[in-house]
């Protein structure tokens, strides 16, 4: 399983709640997390099949900014 990391603007529980359906659909529940304590709000995804481009598109579709960490 590979680990992908991104800087985001997902910075609170409400933001996580808003992006959860999208990330659960793309990566699967339990395969992603956002470190809101980190100043860069690091999104970590564990997946064998997702590409960085797919994750970026999903997070942007949910209304958040994202870039490679």
Residue that has been written with the tokens 């470190």 in this structure = 35
Q: What CATH fold (topology level) applies to the domain 2-68? A: Alpha-Beta Plaits (3.30.70)
pTM: 0.94
Distances (CA, A) of 69 to 25, 26, 45, 58: 22, 19, 12, 16
Q: Across residues 13-35, what is the average pLDDT?
A: 96
DSSP of 17-64: HHHHHHHHHHH-TTSEEEETTSTT-EEEEEESS--HHHHHHHHHHTT-
Q: How confident is the model over 26-68, as pLDDT tens digits?
A: 999 999 999 999 999 999 999 999 999 999 999 999 999 999 9
């Amino acid at each position: 399983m590979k680990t992908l990391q991104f800087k985001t603007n997902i910075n609170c529980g409400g933001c996580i709640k808003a992006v959860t359906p999208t990330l659960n659909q793309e990566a699967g529940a339990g395969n992603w997390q956002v470190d809101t304590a980190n100043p860069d709000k690091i999104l970590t995804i564990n997946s064998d099949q997702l590409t960085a481009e797919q994750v970026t598109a999903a997070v942007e579709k949910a209304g958040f900014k994202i870039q490679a960490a």
